[in-house]
């Protein structure tokens, strides 16, 4: 009985482990489990396939991100999900939090910019929509912090153009990866 209770509680507890220094506006990357994630990982060659921005506070973390629908009946687009949902093993194999080195004012403005994009359609090749990395980059750029990333030229069927992949975003000199050794359930 105790072992089965542990099996139920452990994924939810571990899924919410964040570095103690995590702040609203920081980025949370994940390696997803979907076919879309496999394609991104293949093209990017990086560790992660998706990114969102932390909102809220310890014990009540949420993530704003641009994503194809992960909930039946919900449109593709910029949405806010609970951290536990974002990191559920059905969607995430692993994750890491990256601290954005920015002023408190820039942080507040980046969050405001990301929230203003809520409801935008998820689209890779349509300027009227957005995708995960572009949402994050634009929010910080509009807040006055250029994350100084490189866009990757792609010439795939239905995807031709320059795209911001998770790897180059994670390598921004303005980001610092959180220490997983000090992660706490938050």
β partners of residue 31: 94
Task: Give the mean pLDDT of the chain.
Answer: 87
pLDDT tens profile 33-53: 999 899 999 999 999 999 999
CA 55, CA 83: separation in Å to the nearest integer?
9
Which of 78, 88, 91, 81 shows the shortest CA–CA distance to 31?
91
pLDDT tens profile 126-139: 777 899 999 999 99
Q: What is the pTM of this model?
A: 0.86
| CB contact set of 64 (below 8 Å; sequence gap of 6+) | 52, 53, 55, 78, 79, 80, 114, 115, 118, 135
Q: Yes or no: say if 22 and 180 are a contact pair by the CB < 8 Å rule.
A: no
pLDDT of 10 above 50: no
In degrees rounded to 5, what are phi and psi of residue 53?
-115, 135
CATH number of 2-179: 3.90.1720.10
Question: Which residue ranges make up each domain of the chain?
Answer: 2-179
pLDDT of 21 above 80: yes
């Amino acid at each position: 009985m105790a072992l089965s209770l542990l099996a139920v509680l452990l994924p939810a507890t571990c899924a919410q482990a964040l570095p103690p220094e995590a702040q609203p506006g920081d980025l949370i990357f994940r390696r997803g489990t979907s076919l879309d994630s496999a394609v991104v990982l293949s093209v990017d060659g990086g560790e992660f396939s998706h990114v969102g921005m932390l909102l809220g506070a310890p014990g009540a973390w949420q993530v704003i991100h641009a994503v194809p629908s992960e909930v039946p009946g919900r449109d593709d687009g910029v949405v806010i999900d609970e951290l536990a949902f974002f990191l559920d093993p059905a969607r995430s194999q692993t994750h890491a939090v990256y601290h954005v080195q920015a002023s408190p004012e820039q942080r507040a403005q980046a969050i405001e910019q990301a929230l203003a994009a809520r409801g935008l359609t998820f689209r890779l090749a349509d300027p009227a929509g957005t995708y995960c990395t572009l949402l994050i980059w634009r929010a910080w750029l509009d807040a006055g912090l250029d994350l100084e990333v490189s866009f990757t030229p792609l010439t795939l069927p239905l995807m031709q153009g320059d795209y911001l992949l998770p790897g180059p975003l994670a390598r921004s000199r303005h980001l610092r990866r959180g220490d997983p050794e000090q992660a706490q359930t938050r």
